[in-house]
């Protein structure tokens, strides 16, 4: 695995969980997995065991010269990880942040090159190199255009796109720095040239063109990427490479998210004693100063980002408290404007005994919310996979989702079962507007009050779903096996 994140040491989003979770599942099945990461200064060093230099004499060709790197080795919750540590004036990974620098494209192009150079020099010849997101998009280009001729001719690349919104756009200086010097060749429309800016190269497009197989994180999102605007300009190149493109649903880390063992909840439970879940509902109400009343508790956990449908989250909040339900929100957003809006709502509803907004990031509260709530809304405008709905189901909390991407693949509507085709385990609406989300909320609240037996059946169905890494890991193994013989 070559990636810019791995949970829990370097985590910004879902990518980190996938790299860790998939690696662990593959190892449990007897495969030898090693993870290559940048050595950031801001990593959780307390979560790395036995960190020590493992290869001190790595000289990475860069900008016509070379950069000296040390490669460190350590275990991250049992996974074997190598960390590339360049000693150069640019200090690529000592910036106190994972992303957000002006030269991010250059930093991660260097990382990709360093990872390949490390494999070449350290004699590592993995059958498959699995790269993730734009940060490692140039790796397959360098592998098949350069390293292949220096002793890495048998390696194959599977690339996973976790989010098409961030594609990695750079200028010709990156090509020069990495040694990919045939500018006219790479700038061709069917190779690296960006669809919107012909004088720029696009890392994600590069990965799509040069990898042996490309995946995204759910089958429905793979379809959306090809047929709608959700690939942000890459639909055509995906169409051209459709024979090597598919969607594999992410798995959920069943060790971290397990109501039977969760140390953050007030009472542990499983499908056999669902009534214990209501101890958590009371604990959650106590913690958030909500009144104990005979009402369903609806929650929302996640980034307050336009992708997540913030206007629908806000509407769900008011609709719930006006329609005999309680509402809890835990989230924080990258945009100050959105956060401010939710702070205003929080102040406005300060005295409401039926509503609480927690604006911030709180892992422990998130666990208690999944365990204590009756329903969870996820009204995303687009959602490559989505974890919160899967976590909710594991905790017997009914997801109310918009039918896009991975949400559509994991949730099947109680009244209109289609979606993922599995057992009915939640509510799905399609139109991203107020009547759309109201229709789903109305049906969910109605079932909770009017037909408690059926609501319990829904809870049992949700808890019976298996969204662990078991199936996704097998899909990836099939892909690895397929490209190994290509
Ligand atoms: P994203 O698009 O952010 O990756 P996902 O649904 O794939 O969305 O994953 C979100 C993960 O982050 C979930 O595990 C969720 O519990 C967690 N999370 C999001 N926001 C918060 C928060 N404010 N506090 C605690 N956990 C959060």
SS3 183: helix
pTM here is 0.94
Q: Are 299 and 328 in contact (CB under 8 A)?
A: yes
Residue 5 has pLDDT above 70, yes or no: yes
Within 53-202, residue ranges assigned H as helices are 104-121, 139-145, 172-178, 183-186
Residue 419 has pLDDT above 70, yes or no: no
Nearest CA to ligand 1 atom 8: 386
First vs last C-alpha separation in the chain? 20
Residue 149 has pLDDT above 90, yes or no: yes
Residue 126 CA to ligand 1 center (angstroms) comes to: 32
Residues 145-150, mean pLDDT to the nearest whole number: 97
Q: What is the pLDDT of residues 288-322, one digit of tens each?
A: 999 999 999 999 999 998 899 999 999 999 999 99
Supply the mean pLDDT for the chain.
96
Residues 457-475, mean pLDDT to the nearest whole number: 96
Nearest CA to ligand 1 atom 17: 302
Residue 184 has pLDDT above 90, yes or no: yes
pLDDT in the model for residue 421? 60
Residue 302 CA to ligand 1 center (angstroms) comes to: 5
Nearest CA to ligand 1 atom 9: 387
pLDDT in the model for residue 452? 97
**What is the rounded CA–CA span in Å between residue 197 and residue 200?**
6
Q: Which atom of ligand 1 is closest in space to residue 330's alpha carbon?
A: 23
**What is the rounded CA–CA span in Å between residue 300 and residue 312?**
11
pLDDT level of residue 256 (50, 70, 90 thresholds): confident
Per-residue exposure over 451-474, b if at least 16 CB sit within 10 Å of its own CB, e if not: eeeebeebbebbbebebbbeebbe
**What is the rounded CA–CA span in Å between residue 165 and residue 222?**
14
Residues contacting 464, CB < 8 A, separation 6+ = 271, 423
pLDDT in the model for residue 417? 81
**What is the rounded CA–CA span in Å between residue 235 and residue 237?**
6
**What is the rounded CA–CA span in Å between residue 43 and residue 216?**
26
| 15 CB within 6 A, ligand 1 | no
Q: Which atom of ligand 1 is closest in space to residue 307's alpha carbon?
A: 2
Q: Are 362 and 260 in contact (CB under 8 A)?
A: no
Mutate to test the pocket of ligand 1, among 300, 309, 366 (most ligand atoms within 8 A of CB): 366
Q: What is the pLDDT of residues 354-390, one digit of tens each?
A: 999 999 989 899 999 999 999 999 999 999 999 999 9
pLDDT in the model for residue 420? 54
Q: Which atom of ligand 1 is closest in space to residue 308's alpha carbon?
A: 2
User: CB-based burial of residue 133 (10 Å sphere; 0-12 exposed, 13-18 middle, 19+ buried)?
Assistant: buried
Residues 149-157, mean pLDDT to the nearest whole number: 97
pLDDT level of residue 97 (50, 70, 90 thresholds): very high
| 406 CB within 6 A, ligand 1 | no
**What is the rounded CA–CA span in Å between residue 188 and residue 214?**
20
| 145 CB within 6 A, ligand 1 | no
**What is the rounded CA–CA span in Å between residue 156 and residue 147?**
12
The residue ranges of DSSP E strands in 210-345, in sequence order, are: 213-216, 245-247, 297-303, 326-332
pLDDT level of residue 336 (50, 70, 90 thresholds): confident
Q: Taking the CA atoms of the chain, what radius of gyration do you get in angstroms?
A: 23
Bridge partner residues of 125 (DSSP): none
Give the residue from 163, 144, 160 showing the smallest Cα distance to 152: 144
| 303 CB within 6 A, ligand 1 | yes
Residue 476 CA to ligand 1 center (angstroms) comes to: 24
């Amino acid at each position: 695995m070559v990636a810019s994140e791995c949970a829990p040491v370097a985590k910004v989003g879902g990518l980190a969980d996938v790299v860790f979770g998939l690696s662990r599942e593959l190892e449990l099945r007897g495969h030898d997995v090693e993870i290559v990461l940048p050595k950031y200064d801001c990593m959780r060093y307390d979560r790395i065991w036995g960190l020590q230099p493992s290869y001190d004499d790595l000289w990475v060709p860069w900008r016509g010269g070379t950069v000296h790197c040390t490669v460190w080795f350590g275990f991250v919750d049992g996974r074997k990880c190598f960390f590339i540590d360049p000693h150069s004036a640019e200090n690529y990974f000592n910036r106190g942040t994972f992303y957000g620098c002006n030269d991010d494209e250059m930093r991660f192009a260097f990382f990709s090159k360093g990872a390949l150079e490390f494999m070449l020099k350290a004699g590592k010849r993995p059958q498959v190199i699995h790269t993730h997101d734009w940060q490692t998009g140039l790796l397959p280009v360098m592998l098949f255009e350069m390293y292949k001729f220096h002793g890495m001719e048998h390696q194959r690349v599977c690339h996973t796109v976790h989010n098409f919104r961030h594609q990695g756009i750079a200028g010709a200086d990156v090509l020069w720095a990495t040694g990919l010097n045939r500018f006219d060749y790479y700038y061709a429309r069917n190779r690296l040239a960006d669809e919107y800016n012909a004088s720029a190269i696009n890392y994600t497009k590069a990965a799509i063109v040069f990898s042996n197989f490309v995946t995204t994180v759910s089958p429905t999102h793979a379809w959306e990427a090809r047929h709608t605007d959700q690939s942000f300009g890459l639909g055509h190149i995906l169409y051209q490479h459709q024979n090597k493109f598919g969607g594999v649903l992410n798995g959920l880390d069943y060790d971290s998210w397990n109501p039977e063992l969760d140390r953050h909840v007030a009472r542990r439970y499983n499908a056999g004693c669902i009534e214990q879940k209501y101890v958590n509902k009371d604990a959650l109400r106590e913690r958030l100063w909500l009144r104990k009343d005979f009402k369903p508790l609806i929650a929302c956990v996640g980034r307050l980002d336009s992708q997540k449908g913030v206007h629908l989250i806000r509407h769900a909040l008011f609709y719930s408290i006006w329609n005999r339900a309680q509402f809890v929100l835990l989230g924080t957003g990258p945009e100050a404007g959105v956060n401010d809006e939710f702070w205003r709502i929080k102040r406005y509803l300060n005295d409401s005994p039926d509503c609480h907004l927690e604006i911030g990031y709180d892992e422990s509260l998130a666990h208690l919310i999944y365990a204590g709530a009756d329903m969870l809304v996820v009204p995303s405008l687009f959602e490559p996979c989505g974890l919160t709905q899967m976590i909710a189901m594991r905790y017997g909390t009914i997801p109310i989702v918009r039918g896009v991407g991975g949400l559509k693949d994991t949730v099947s509507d109680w009244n209109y079962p289609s979606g993922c085709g599995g057992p009915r385990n939640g509510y799905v609406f399609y139109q991203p507007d107020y009547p759309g989300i109201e229709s789903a909320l109305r049906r969910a609240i109605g079932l909770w009050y009017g037909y408690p037996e059926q609501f319990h059946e829904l809870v049992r169905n949700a808890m019976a779903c298996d969204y662990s890494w078991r199936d996704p890991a097998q899909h990836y193994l099939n892909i690895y096996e397929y490209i190994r013989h290509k």
